[in-house]
């Protein structure tokens, strides 16, 4: 598995600020820049650099897929340790995979799939199984809970 990211103080502040939400204004990057006391171009450069390096896996809005006709599911794999990085790369290559994380359990790789239509969930799962040769365990949502989670960088 990968080593922990090497973030400077400003990267950490930027991540922490953005977890609280992205401003819905005409110039959101300028607003964030003013909060942090730096230039707008520096905010954009840092976000791009963190995306390119893999420190951030994605940067964008989260939608309630089901309310707009889509679907979301939690899925898991049993991945041999020596294949973990390779399988994670294949899983994460699917644009429908929102995030992916390791767990110390027999089901050691968990990820969320969000699609435009409910039928696409099965298509994504079939694709991941074909690409990895591993069985995907699908855990569709039975009940929704709203829990705030904030991770300090």
CB 149 within 8 A of CB 19: no
pLDDT digits (tens, 9 = 90+) for 48-77: 999 998 888 778 877 777 788 889 999 999
Domains of the chain, by residue range, sit at 9-53, 65-140
Fold of 65-140: Alpha-Beta Plaits (3.30.70)
Q: In sequence order, what are the residues at sequence separation of 6 or more whose Cβ sits closer than 8 angstroms to the Cβ of residue 6?
A: none
Backbone angles phi, psi at 101, to 5 degrees: -145, 155
* Strands 137-140 and 97-102, bridge-based pairing: unpaired
Of the candidates 17, 13, 11, 21, the residue with the CA atom closest to the CA atom of residue 45: 11
The two tokens of residue 33 are 């820049």
Question: Does position 153 have pLDDT exceeding 80, yes or no?
Answer: no
Domains 9-53 and 65-140 equal at CATH topology level: no
Backbone angles phi, psi at 82, to 5 degrees: -70, -15
CB 36 within 8 A of CB 14: yes
Question: Does position 20 have pLDDT exceeding 90, yes or no?
Answer: no
pLDDT band at 1 (very low <50, low <70, confident <90, very high): very low
pLDDT digits (tens, 9 = 90+) for 101-139: 899 999 999 999 999 999 999 999 999 999 999 999 999
Confidence at residue 4, expressed as pLDDT on a 0 to 100 scale? 55
CB 113 within 8 A of CB 124: yes
Fold of 9-53: Arc Repressor Mutant, subunit A (1.10.10)
The more confident residue out of 2 and 98 is: 98
């Amino acid at each position: 598995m990968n080593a922990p990211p090497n973030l400077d103080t400003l990267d950490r502040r930027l991540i922490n600020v953005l977890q609280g939400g992205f401003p819905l204004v005409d110039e959101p990057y300028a607003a964030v820049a003013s909060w942090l006391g730096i230039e707008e171009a520096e905010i954009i450069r840092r976000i791009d650099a963190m995306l390119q390096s893999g420190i951030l896996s994605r940067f964008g809005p989260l939608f309630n897929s089901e309310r707009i006709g889509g679907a979301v599911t939690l899925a898991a794999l049993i991945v041999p340790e020596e294949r973990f990085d390779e399988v994670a790369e294949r899983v994460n290559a699917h644009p429908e995979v929102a995030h992916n994380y390791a767990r110390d359990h027999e089901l050691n790789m968990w990820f969320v799939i969000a699609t435009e239509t409910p039928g696409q969930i099965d298509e994504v799962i079939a694709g991941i199984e074909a690409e990895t040769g591993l069985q995907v365990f699908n855990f569709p949502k039975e009940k929704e809970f709203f829990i705030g989670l904030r991770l300090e960088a």
